[in-house]
Chains A and B, each alone.
Chain A
Amino acid sequence: MRLTLYIWRQKSTTDKGRFVKYEVENASPEMSFLEMLDMLNRQLIERGGEPVAFEHDCREGICGCCGMVINGIANGPAGGTTVCQLYMRHFKDGAVLYIEPWRSRAFPVIKDLVVDRSALDRIMQAGGFISVRTGSAPEAHTILVSKETAELAMDAAECTGCGACVAACPNGAAMLFVAAKISHLGLLPQGQPERDRRAQAMVRQMDREGFGGCSNHRECEAVCPKRISIRFIARANRDFLRASLFYSKSASGKAGATGKTKRCFEK
């Protein structure tokens, strides 16, 4: 296969960046997209050039490292896949491909196709957990979870944190990522005590990181490698709303409590 690639090259976060044209010959339909880039990089290095920086690790679609926008679509045209599991047989011989990093204000470019996604980690650090100390867990069978709930929670929990949803969203929203975690933990009985607090903390951190808001474009679920549904966004919005109405950090059962804390008992 012969391909013409226009790849975004950017030396560092502060560099302006531009597209550079490359011709690739001898690509094979059995190659993964990343192996095609490996081949290009080998040629670049052997000719004394600088290889294209791109992120990757497990190359089996689960670690969430890799990701790039190919001809305007996050992770390319095949859908429901990461770019490491995208194979060249999905492209025509002679294709012209524009390859860019994830584009979002919250994801500064580090180099070429590599972006800084640490904002997603900070959202997790704000509340994406169940506060259980090591060693204090009860016997596993004391917590029953219906099969349907466990399966639904698993649908959400499959999120790999790759950031494709953010890259695809016209608003640069991270709602699918945040909603997946709020739903995964909020569906399970173990996650109930912190459900309100979690929803609020994660959404607030998301806003602080400079992600946009969700306006139901559904681009995120279209590119999600794990096909996570935007129904979880509706669920997370409900949780957030509920938390905003009823949850207060200053909740107190003692006399003199404010009207706000009284509301907290209504739930």
Chain B
Amino acid sequence: MELDPRIPGGPLEEKWIRYRKTVKLISPANKRNFTVVVVGTGLAGASVAAALAELGYNVLAFCYQDSSRRAHSIAAQGGINAAKNYQNDGDSVFRLFSETVIGGDFRSREANVYRLAELSGVIIDQCVAQGVPFAREYSGYLANRSFGGSLVSRTFYCRGQTGQQLLLGAYSALCRQIGLGRVKLFPRTEMLDLVVAGGRARGIVTRDLVTGSIAAHAADAVLLATGGYANIFFLSTNAKGCNATAIWRAYRRGAGFANPCFVQVHPTCIPQSGEYQSKLTLMSESLRNDGRIWVPKRKGDTREPSEIPENERDYFLERMYASYGNLAPRDMASRAVKRVCDMGYGVGPSGRGVYLDLTEAVARLGGDLLRERYGNLFEIYERITGRDPLKAPMRIYPAPHYTMGGLWVDYGLQSTIPGLFVLGEANFSDHGANRLGASALLQGLADGYFIVPYTLGEYFAGTVLDGVSPAGRPFVDAQKEVQERVARLVAVQGRRTVDSFHRKLGALLWEHCGISRSEAGLRTAIEEIRALRREFWEDVRVPGKTTEFNQELEKAGRVADYLELAELMCRDALAREESCGCHFREEFQTSDGEPFKDDGRFCHVAVWEYMGDDREPVRHAEPLTFETVKPEDRAQYASQGYTRSRRK
């Protein structure tokens, strides 16, 4: 597998400018002769589909939801970063870039990150022009807020619904192109395989989720914008339908999978309340600014929190991290919370929760001010738990939230399969080992509006593409494989539901490939995942037929792929013998429990190549070099106030 990142020459600040200067173009009249498949209609998918259609390409867009407006980008709460420096507080493209590189613990590609920061400004311009109702000052100018410990205020927001508003902006641009007939949308349609012909990505195989019919779609390029795979944990902050099927099928067709073990765990979510629980809800991390986190000093203490006197409480974050206190970086906080709960000090019915107590803040600031600051969070918390956070301490617990890993892409966002481009959370490129807060939305839109419209033209202009037809050999073969696989799922007719396997897989991964990982645990997990996979194919029960609306069948296909991806995540975690960003290996920590990074051996992207079901995948490495912000200067940046792993 060749891993040429194809980074343009020249100084960092000029790479993207140079690329655009020399990029090959397709004439306006010729663009309509190219057909592009876009899978997924979140921020990345909707924006790229709209942007390409505006340029004149024929676009076929696919989403599994009933409408292209529902992709999970919609659930992002906090905001979107842009280095506009509207606050005159010292922000710049360079500062956003360097914070992102440091936040990613020097495991992302420098040139890509710089471009992300560089494009942040025009993204805000574009969104404002579309009518995204960003928060404003009384003067009519745009408002900013600071986010998770950044030293500048550069986050643009729409109340607690920034993702929704940005997605609706991209969706409206997409709607316009659909109305004009330039995009054909296939809602309720799921991609189940990638078609590679002549060594290039030339189409996809899909299942119509209403009728069950399986069809092939031919194209000149395939763009995957299908999001991340944190839902592999079953209990995560992702939507229930989020899945890895598209990127996993592409991996099996030859696309390299980069850093699959990099999963961001968010420390402040509402804990699980029972075995039936289907989803975890995020509570913004900003609550830690005003809350104190504690557990009872006695194991299994079931008293109400108000009945536990001060001297019987353990404010463990303050105790463990004197300098950070309750604001310990999220990976450290998540690990500490899990550790005290594993030791039996957890609170709540499941024992998996700790108190986030606002009592002191109420006394200091008053309930009204707190309500003004966190009103919508209190409302969400109260709706779900039935408790008022101002009267009794909130209970929180960490949950998987975002996957930095994804398909490997070069500077032009092209995977190792020519003609297959990957955008947004589905690729690995910009966030390294941990993502900065309010940068996921930024990446989706940068990839979709402003990067792929250029790099795709470069691909078309430099390639001679033969004609392909969905009736051709590779399409018919791929279609047949999909049909057989779908039929196999229904044919098992075992005793257990799809969810029961997914739940078990999630628990396994959470235990061994979640917040903290160890060699022994990962080896056990790999064995258990394999056993679970066998059991799945022997005992899963998928009711109904393949030729009808069948939600259990949809889930079964996704979980079958998760059962394969899970093993690769564990392998990747096992091979990365260091602790960095979100990835904490118990064997690799300093004497005071700090992560031990090994820049000498692991300052690279791990890229996995599929070798067949009966052979082990091969691990390749793309070395990472840093010319401006260097890993060895980490301490210096820390002293300037840069902090690791900050998010919403």
Contact B136 A35 (CB under 8 A): no
Any A CB within 8 A of the CB of B124? yes
The docked-state distance in angstroms from the alpha carbon of A247 to that of B276 is 56
Contact A57 B122 (CB under 8 A): no
The docked-state distance in angstroms from the alpha carbon of A143 to that of B131 is 10
Contact A58 to B74, CB < 8 A, known contacts A39-B276, A150-B136: yes
Residues of chain A contacted by B273 (CB below 8 angstroms): 30
Any B CB within 8 A of the CB of A165? no
Contact A59 B279 (CB under 8 A): yes
Contact A58 to B278, CB < 8 A, known contacts A87-B386, A118-B67, A138-B129: no
Shortest distance between the CB of A246 and any CB in chain B (Å): 22
| Chain-A contact segment, one of B23-31, B161-169, B407-415 | B161-169
B287-301 contact mask (Cβ, 8 Å, vs A): 1 or 0: 000000000000000
B549-577 contact mask (Cβ, 8 Å, vs A): 1 or 0: 10110000000000000000000000000
Question: For residues 52 through 101 of chain B, which have their beta carbon under 8 Å from a beta carbon of chain A?
Answer: 54, 65-70, 72, 74-75, 84, 86
Contact B68 A121 (CB under 8 A): yes
Any B CB within 8 A of the CB of A250? no
Contact B241 A57 (CB under 8 A): yes
A-B contact count (CB 8 A): 208
Any B CB within 8 A of the CB of A63? yes
Residues of chain A contacted by B277 (CB below 8 angstroms): 35
Look across to chain B and name the residue whose beta carbon is closest to the beta carbon of A125. B179
Contact B175 A145 (CB under 8 A): no
Give the residue of A53, A114, A144, A188 whose beta carbon is less than 8 angstroms from that of B139.
A144
Residues of chain A contacted by B131 (CB below 8 angstroms): 130, 153, 184-185, 188, 190-191
Shortest distance between the CB of B23 and any CB in chain A (Å): 14
Give the residue of B75, B128, B140, B173 whose beta carbon is less than 8 angstroms from that of A146.
B140
Any B CB within 8 A of the CB of A133? yes
Residues of chain B contacted by A55 (CB below 8 angstroms): 66
Any B CB within 8 A of the CB of A215? no
Give the residue of A51, A58, A60, A191 whose beta carbon is less than 8 angstroms from that of B552.
A51
Any A CB within 8 A of the CB of B364? no
Residues of chain B contacted by A62 (CB below 8 angstroms): 74-75, 161, 164
Residues of chain B contacted by A114 (CB below 8 angstroms): 549
The docked-state distance in angstroms from the alpha carbon of A89 to that of B385 is 10
Contact A111 to B278, CB < 8 A, known contacts A58-B239, A128-B172, A134-B51: no
Contact A125 B178 (CB under 8 A): yes
Contact B50 A134 (CB under 8 A): yes
Instruction: Report which residue of B70, B142, B161, B384 has the largest number of chain A beta carbons within 10 angstroms of its beta carbon.
Output: B70
Any B CB within 8 A of the CB of A75? no
Look across to chain A and name the residue whose beta carbon is closest to the beta carbon of B277. A35
Shortest distance between the CB of A167 and any CB in chain B (Å): 15
Question: For residues 500 through 559 of chain B, which have their beta carbon under 8 Å from a beta carbon of chain A?
Answer: 500, 541, 543-544, 548-549, 551-552
Any B CB within 8 A of the CB of A243? no
Any B CB within 8 A of the CB of A14? no
Question: For residues 99 through 144 of chain B, which have their beta carbon under 8 Å from a beta carbon of chain A?
Answer: 122, 124-126, 128-131, 133-142
Contact B384 A57 (CB under 8 A): no
Any B CB within 8 A of the CB of A254? no
The contact size tier of chain A is: 35 or more
The docked-state distance in angstroms from the alpha carbon of A176 to that of B206 is 35
The docked-state distance in angstroms from the alpha carbon of A126 to that of B176 is 7
Shortest distance between the CB of A249 and any CB in chain B (Å): 15
| Chain-B contact segment, one of A41-49, A93-101, A233-241 | A41-49
| Chain-B contact segment, one of A1-9, A154-162, A216-224, A255-263 | A154-162
The docked-state distance in angstroms from the alpha carbon of A35 to that of B274 is 10
Any B CB within 8 A of the CB of A85? yes
Contact A128 B276 (CB under 8 A): no
The docked-state distance in angstroms from the alpha carbon of A51 to that of B251 is 32
Contact A58 B75 (CB under 8 A): yes
Contact B69 A139 (CB under 8 A): no
Contact B210 A110 (CB under 8 A): yes
Contact B274 A87 (CB under 8 A): no
Contact B125 A138 (CB under 8 A): yes
The docked-state distance in angstroms from the alpha carbon of A130 to that of B384 is 37
Residues of chain B contacted by A135 (CB below 8 angstroms): 122, 126, 449-450
Contact B544 A150 (CB under 8 A): no
Contact B384 A87 (CB under 8 A): yes
Contact B67 A120 (CB under 8 A): yes
Question: For residues 145 through 188 of chain A, which have their beta carbon under 8 Å from a beta carbon of chain B?
Answer: 145-147, 150, 153-154, 157-158, 160-161, 184-185, 188
Give the residue of A12, A28, A110 whose beta carbon is less than 8 angstroms from that of B274.
A28
Contact A129 B172 (CB under 8 A): yes
Any A CB within 8 A of the CB of B187? yes
Contact A28 B276 (CB under 8 A): yes
Shortest distance between the CB of B340 and any CB in chain A (Å): 23
Contact A59 B278 (CB under 8 A): yes
Shortest distance between the CB of A141 and any CB in chain B (Å): 6
Contact A65 to B66, CB < 8 A, known contacts A45-B543, A51-B551: yes
Question: For residues 241 through 259 of chain B, which have their beta carbon under 8 Å from a beta carbon of chain A?
Answer: 241
Residues of chain A contacted by B383 (CB below 8 angstroms): 81, 85, 87
Contact A59 B210 (CB under 8 A): no
Would you mind naming 6 contact pairs between A and B with Cβ atoms under 8 Å apart?
A53-B549, A60-B75, A85-B384, A137-B130, A144-B140, A153-B131
Query: Could you list 14 further interchain pairs (A-B, Cβ under 8 angstroms) beyond the known A50-B544, A121-B68, A134-B47?
Result: A53-B551, A57-B72, A58-B74, A64-B69, A114-B549, A116-B66, A134-B173, A135-B450, A137-B122, A140-B125, A141-B86, A145-B133, A150-B135, A161-B69
- Give A residues with C-beta under 8 Å from B: 11-12, 28-32, 34-35, 38-39, 41-42, 45-46, 48-51, 53, 55-60, 62-65, 81, 85, 87, 89, 110-111, 114, 116-118, 120-121, 124-141, 143-147, 150, 153-154, 157-158, 160-161, 184-185, 188, 190-191
- Give B residues with C-beta under 8 Å from A: 47, 50-51, 54, 65-70, 72, 74-75, 84, 86, 122, 124-126, 128-131, 133-142, 158-159, 161, 164-165, 168, 171-173, 175-176, 178-179, 187, 210, 239-241, 273-274, 276-279, 281-282, 380, 383-386, 449-450, 453, 495-497, 499-500, 541, 543-544, 548-549, 551-552
Query: What 3 A-B pairs come out closest when comparing CB atoms?
Result: A144-B140, A137-B129, A129-B172
